Amino acid sequence: MALVTAAVVVLDCAEPEQLAAFYKDLLDAEETDASGNRVEIKGADGMRMAFRRDVNATPPSWPRPENSFQAHLDFHVEDLDEVERKVVGLGGRPLETKDMSGPYEERGYADPAGHSFTLRCVRSTAPKQG
């Protein structure tokens, strides 16, 4: 048995209830705990996230260099355009990006509190059947 296991990703924000609602809808998640200054959700795939109230939280400024990355999340998707519409509809916003080169097609966004995340299109490499 591992001595340490990953438990939950926690994002600080001014309004945890609102940010939890954004990710709950995006990830088709369920709320598992809302006590005091923290709201926790669990995604359909088992990913757990929590949102902790910090009235002094400062959102990252990425891609600008000042106060840049504080944390960064990657989500795998099958259809970038469809998920982008969902992100924007939930209050997220696309981030300015100059070069998103790499082995996967990806796009950067900020959640309503300003935390950055990337949607990465992961296409199947298995041959088609039938």
Residues 5-20: tens digit of each pLDDT: 677 899 999 999 999 9
| Mean pLDDT score across all residues of the chain | 82
User: How confident is the model at residue 59, as a pLDDT?
Assistant: 75
Same domain membership, residue 88 and residue 32: no
Torsion, Cα of 92, 44, 36, 89 (10° steps): 20
User: How confident is the model at residue 40, as a pLDDT?
Assistant: 96
Give the count of beta carbons closer than 10 Å to the beta carbon of residue 49: 21
pLDDT per residue as tens digits for the range 30-77? 999 998 899 999 998 899 999 999 988 877 766 666 655 566 788 888
Same domain membership, residue 116 and residue 67: yes
Same domain membership, residue 76 and residue 43: no
- Please tell me the distance from the alpha carbon of residue 121 to that of residue 27, in angstroms, as a whole number: 15
Give whole-number Cα distances, 53 to 10, 19, 43, in Å.
Answer: 10, 10, 20
The boundaries of the domain holding residue 12 are 1-56
pTM of the model: 0.74
Same domain membership, residue 63 and residue 117: yes
* Number of domains composing the chain: 2
Q: Does residue 116 have a pLDDT over 80? A: yes
